[in-house]
Amino acid sequence: MPLRPATLEDATLICQWSQQTIERWQRLNAQGIADDLPCEQLSIYERWLHGGAWMSLETGILWLSHILRGAGKAWIATDETGEAMGYAEVFMSEELPPLGKVASLTYLSLSSNAPPDARDLILQELLEIKVSAWSVGISAYDEESLAFYSQYGFTPTQTLQLYRLHTASGQGFYKITDQPNPDASQIKGWAMPTGRLTNARHAWETHWTALWDAVPPIAKRRVHRLRCSASGHEAFLHFEESLYDPRIAEVRCWSMKAFASPLTVAIRDWAQRNGYRQLTLWADNSVATALGSDAEASPQQHLMLTRPL
């Protein structure tokens, strides 16, 4: 199934394909009960909550335009007549060894008219791109996806757990400053020890840019983009206020070396000083050790699958 670069003219189709995957569109009423409603009756933000940028044409165009300006790669799969059958997003990231230059398949949607083997055909075309490794992130409980990617040489290389950590005053020496610069070259060759559910570049382009400031309900959530230096550990930190509790923040970290306890002290202390009471972080066991013994693991798990070339 041949691939061609996506264009803004494809946005309407991609949005339609993505919306078709939602079985029930809902809105919470004044009593906190979810009411089923047609998609058209929901606001852009309410649709966003069902699955992100491609739940609305408006946000889908914003996102696709960002990709086409160099953030990533966007592909349309076509049949033998040239009719669009599917859409795939790929982000290239240069990270610390052993990953190196890794390409991540971060989004895939299919037309309702796509043949049964469309996903296989699209993946086969994508794997022709020459990189040192491919990766994809899936839920640890998604056995169907695990079986599918295993056929193409993907194996689980990292298990991420969602940890909860209370903020606390710390005695460490650190410096944290605002860092709004969205240039992704700043993280070239760095790792992403917390929050890495796809690859470091995709997470950066999704969260470090001010792309979603055009949607007021998204923009009003507190977001902090910071540069941190803690006992020789340089890192970028992204704090994002929880959807449901302004006292909780999700933390993402890009670092030039392995995550260590001085960063934990800095993160907890800064967060408490800025009004947060609890933090959530996606991390593997190696990072969990540096988070401290009071970090609480939730049942939520995510797998990173990797395919070296």
Task: Please give the domain boundaries of the chain with CATH numbers for all domains.
Answer: 3-131 (3.40.630.30), 161-304 (3.40.630)
Mind listing the pLDDT tens digit for each residue in 230-274?
Answer: 998 999 999 999 988 999 999 999 998 889 999 999 999 999 999
Measured CA to CA, the distance from residue 57 to residue 65 in angstroms comes to 12
pLDDT value at residue 100: 82
Residue 99 pLDDT greater than 80, yes or no:
no
Cβ atoms of 68 and 8 within 8 Å: the answer is yes
Query: What pLDDT is recorded for position 42?
Result: 95
**CB of 131 closer than 8 Å to CB of 92:** yes
pLDDT band at 53 (very low <50, low <70, confident <90, very high): very high
- What average pLDDT does this structure show over 295-308? 95
Local structure of 150: helix, strand or coil = helix
Please report, for residues 65, 168, 250, 266, 274, the alpha-carbon distance to residue 277 in angstroms, rounded to integers and kept in the order given.
36, 8, 11, 14, 9
**Quick one: pLDDT at residue 33?**
87
pTM listed for this prediction: 0.94
At 191, give phi and psi (nearest 5°).
-100, 170
Residue 262's CB is within 10 A of a number of other CB atoms, namely 20
Query: Is the pLDDT score of 32 beyond 90?
Result: no
Residue of higher predicted confidence among 97 and 221: 221
Query: Which burial class, exposed, middle or buried, applies to 6 when counting CB atoms under 10 A from its CB (0-12, 13-18, 19+)?
Result: buried
pLDDT of residue 20 exceeding 90, the answer is: yes
User: What letter does residue 33 receive in the DSSP assignment?
Assistant: P
**CA separation for the pair 148, 129 (Å, rounded):** 19
